[in-house]
Structure 1
Amino acid sequence: MIRKKKQEAPDKKMHPLIGVLLFLISLILLVITGPLGFLYGLFHSLFKRGLTGVGEYLLKIAISVDQLGNVLMQHLLNLLWIRKGGYPFGNRDETISSALGRNKKLGMLTGFGKFIDGFLDMIDPNHSLNSIDYYVEPSRNLIDKLGWVYVVDKKVLCVRSRNKDLFYIPGGKRDKGESDLMALSREIGEELQVTLKPESFRFLGSFEAQADEKPPGVMVRIRCYESEFKGELKPASEIEEMKWLGIGNKDQVSAAGRLVFDYLKQEDRI
C-alpha cells in the first residue's frame, strides 16, 4: 500500500493496517459530518452566488464522486471496459470519464466499453475525450514530461538520445520542487547548452500518447512551451544527435512528438 505525501513526490510504503484504519475513520466522518456539510454548502453557495454557485458546488461534488468511483471500481472497470494493455482505471486524481477517454484514444475499449462511451456521447458529444484531464497526478502509468518546441523555417528542433532510434522534443522530467520554467530551463541547458529566456516563455499545449519502449497502457504526457534562448545550440549530455525535422519526417519522432507535429501543421507553422 502506498501514500502520496505530495504531488510529484515518490510514493512511500505504509502498513496495510494503517490504510484500513484511515478508511474506517474517513467513512465514519463522512457518515456523521457529510450530510451536515452538504446542507451547509448548498445554502452557503445559494446565498453567496445564487443558482450559479449551487451548480458549481454540485459539479465539484460530482467530479469528486467520479474520482472516488475510478478508485472504488477500478478492478471491475479494468476487466469489463478495456482490453489487456489499456490505460488502467484507478488513478485517484482522475475521473472515470478521463480514463475512458484515454483508452478511446488508444483504441483499447472493449465492446462494453464502446457501448458505455457511445451512451455518454449521446448525452454529451465527445464526452470522454473532452473529459481527459491533462493535469492529472502522474502515476506509474502516466509519465509527466516537459518539452521545448522551437520552430525555424517550418522545421522543428528535435534530439535523439544515445542508443535510441527515435527523435523527441527536447526536454525532460521535473526534479522535486521545480516549476515548469525551472525544470525545462535546466533540462535544455543540460541537453543543448543554451539558456532559455524566462520572459519569452509561452505555453503551447499538452500532448499525450503511448510511451515509447514502455508496456502498453503506459502514457507519456508532454507539457510543451516555446521560448527564445541565449547561446549556441550544441548537443550535450546523453544527446547523440540534434536535427531539424519537418512534417514529412514525423515518422522519425516519438509518438507524443508526432502529436506536436500534427498540431503545428494545423497551425500552418510546419
Structure 2
Amino acid sequence: MEKIALPTAGLVVVEDNKLLLGYSRNKKAWYLLGGKVDPGENSFQALLREIKEEINLSLAPESLTFYCHISAPAYGEKTNIIMEQDCFFYELKEKIQASSEIEDVRFFDFKTYQKEPIQVPGVVMLYQRLIADGHLQ
C-alpha cells in the first residue's frame, strides 16, 4: 500500500520538565496541540490557525521558533498515512483553556505520558527528541 503524507504542525511548550499536550475529543488520546495543514497553507500558518481554534490563543508569529520535523504513523488514520509534522517551540505566558475539538490541556513528563492507555507515536518520538537534545530529562 502506498504511503500518504499528512502534513501537520505542532506546538512545543516545555515547562518544568513537562510537555504541554491536548486531549482530542475525537481520537481519545493526548496529542501535541496543532493540526493538519490545509491546502494553500504552510505549517507555520496552519499552526497559528489551529492554536486559535483549539485553545483560543492568538500566537504572535515572532514568538514561534522552528524546532524539528517528525515523521510517524498517523494515529487514528489508515496504516499507510504518515504524519509529517513541523514542530515549533513557544514560551507560554498566557492562561489557556481547551475549546473546539480539544477536551483538556495538561503538562506531562515522559514517564507519566507512558502510563496513558494510548501513546501517540509522533508524541513519543518528540519526547525522545526533546530528551536527546536536553530540553527534557
The one-letter code of the counterpart of 1:245 is: F
Aligned equivalents of 1:177, 1:218: Cα separation in 2: 20
Percentage identity across paired residues of the two chains = 29
Q: Look up the match of 2:55.
A: 192
Pairing 1:66-145 to 2, within 5 Å after superposition: 88=2, 141-145=4-8
Q: Which runs of 5+ in 1 are unaligned?
A: 1-84, 90-140
Deviation at 1:176, TM superposition (A): 2.8
Deviations 1:153-183 (A, max 9, x none): 0000000111433211000112232233222
Deviation at 1:213, TM superposition (A): 2.0
Q: Look up the match of 1:223.
A: 86
Aligned equivalents of 1:180, 1:230: Cα separation in 2: 22
Task: Indicate how the Cα distance of structure 1 residues 174 and 244 shifts in structure 2: closer, same or farther if over 3 A, else same.
Answer: same
Aligned equivalents of 1:227, 1:168: Cα separation in 2: 16
**Larger helix proportion of the pair:** 1
- 1:175 paired with 2:38, answer yes
Aligned equivalents of 2:66, 2:124: Cα separation in 1: 18
Pairing 1:1-270 to 2, within 5 Å after superposition: 88=2, 141-228=4-91, 231-251=94-114, 252=116, 253-270=119-136
Contact 1:143 1:221 in 2 (8 A): yes
Deviation at 1:241, TM superposition (A): 1.4
Q: Which has the larger radius of gyration?
A: 1
Higher relative contact order (CA 8 A, sep 6+): 2
Q: Under a length normalisation based on structure 1, what TM-score does the superposition of the two structures give?
A: 0.46
Q: Which runs of 5+ in 2 are unaligned?
A: none
Deviation at 1:267, TM superposition (A): 1.8
Contact 1:197 1:228 in 2 (8 A): no
Aligned equivalents of 1:151, 1:266: Cα separation in 2: 14
Deviation at 1:229, TM superposition (A): 5.2
Deviation at 1:239, TM superposition (A): 0.7
Q: Under a length normalisation based on structure 2, what TM-score does the superposition of the two structures give?
A: 0.86
Aligned equivalents of 1:142, 1:181: Cα separation in 2: 17
**Larger strand proportion of the pair:** 2
Contact 2:26 2:101 in 1 (8 A): no
Q: Look up the match of 1:62.
A: none
Deviation at 1:262, TM superposition (A): 0.4
Contact 2:9 2:44 in 1 (8 A): no
